[in-house]
Amino acid sequence: MKITGRTDVYGIFGYPVKHSLSPLMQTAAFEAAGIDAVYVPFQVSPENLEKAVDGLKAMGIRGINVTVPLKEKIIHFLDFIDETAEFMGAVNTVKNVDGKLYGYNTDGDGFVDSLKEERIEVGGKKVLIIGAGGSAKAIAYSLLRNGVEKIVIANRTFEKAESLAGRLSKIEMVEAVSLDYLNSVVDKFDILINTTSVGMKESDPSLFDYSLIKPDTVVVDIIYKPFETELLKVAKSKGAKTINGLGMLIHQGARAFKILTDMESSVEVMKDALLEGLDGRNI
Ligand code: ATR
């Protein structure tokens, strides 16, 4: 890569940011598209976020991705946000257009794209989402916009599931259940999605009795490290189709790339870059 006076600057704001795979993935996409740009990590503490956003404008940085814990707070410093980011109260992509900052959230649509890539049609499906945090909100919102028939949200803290279901019910009826009910309802869904961090560690207990999963259920875990969580392992052994979180990571990035550059990205190139990066971390 040759950096000149004309090279555009993009990046990611996070705290910490050093574990982010976005620089690897987006740099590969820029190179493949022949765009004269660099994509760099910026470690920005929440206290410094406003100054960093001012700096972004002052220095003409063309756009950034935003990761934890800044996705909510950054909204205060943007000029416009789209409908999806507004509903989510969180932004993961900011585009600088002539000094005005536009915020978007590509997480939910990236998730739906990752299912489409696996030829899973979500329209008319009954979906169980485990977890009621930011990821669950993004995923549920996009699933509803893509015509799912029903969503049930199960969460350890039932009140959080209830509150999220209440917000989503402005779009379509969504129900909440407690995690304790999972064993008795799990066979009633076409798609089951884990959005919690349970399964990242080998010692994690199961969220429910995974052996109750039916072969015709699609089971998705948004975790990608490890590639195959215990949930996915057992689901696969039961004959179910399983999908890990790599696709969501790639497709939220691909959508961000399109917003920031107005060009299509190469999903294959992004995937290869990610796999190489994850491999280097001994996954
Ligand atoms: P994210 O943005 O990735 O969704 P989050 O907003 O912190 O992260 O949400 C984490 C979700 O994982 C929550 O639904 C949380 O349940 P609680 O609302 O009860 O905290 C869920 N979660 C985390 N650890 C869990 C565990 N050990 N068992 C069950 N659920 C867990």
Shared domain check, 260 and 237: no
C-beta 131 within 6 A of ligand 1: yes
Query: Are both 114 and 101 inside the same structural domain?
Result: no
Catalytic residue list contains 71: yes
Q: Whose CA is nearest to atom 5 of ligand 1?
A: 133
Q: How far is the CA of 133 from the centre of ligand 1 (A)?
A: 6
- 211's tokens: 């052996």
- Look at residue 1 and tell me if it is in a domain: no
Domain that holds residue 81: 8-105+248-280
Residue 43 maps to a domain: yes
Instruction: Output phi, psi for 174, to 5 deg.
Output: -130, 135
Q: Which of 129, 135, 178, 197 to mutate to test the pocket of ligand 1 (most atoms within 8 A of CB)?
A: 197
Cα-Cα-Cα-Cα torsion 106, 107, 113, 115, nearest 10 degrees, comes to -170
- Report pLDDT for 228: 97
Check whether residue 217 and residue 259 sit in a common domain.
no
Residues 92 and 136 in one domain: no
CATH number at residue 84: 3.40.50.10860
Residue 39 lies in a domain: yes
The answer to whether 47 touches 24, Cβ cutoff 8 Å, is: no
For the CA of 204, the nearest atom of ligand 1 = 27
State whether 56 and 147 are in the same domain.
no
**How far is residue 183's CA from residue 198's CA, in Å, rounded to a whole number?**
16
Ranges of the chain whose pLDDT falls below 70: 280-283
Residues 118 and 46 in one domain: no
Q: What confidence score (pLDDT) does residue 282 get?
A: 46
Q: Is 13 helix (H, G, I), strand (E, B) or coil?
A: strand
pLDDT of the residue at 172: 77
| One domain for residues 159 and 215 | yes
Half-sphere exposure of residue 273: CA atoms within 13 angstroms, side-chain side:
23
CATH of the domain at 194: 3.40.50.720
127 and 149 in a single domain? The answer is yes
Q: Are residues 140 and 66 in the same domain?
A: no
213 lies in the same domain as 194: yes
Instruction: Indicate the number of domains in the chain.
Output: 2
pLDDT of residue 251: 98
pLDDT digits (tens, 9 = 90+) for 137-156: 999 999 999 999 999 999 99
In this structure, which amino acid lies at residue 142? S
Same domain, 113 and 236: yes
239 plus 151 within the same structural domain = yes
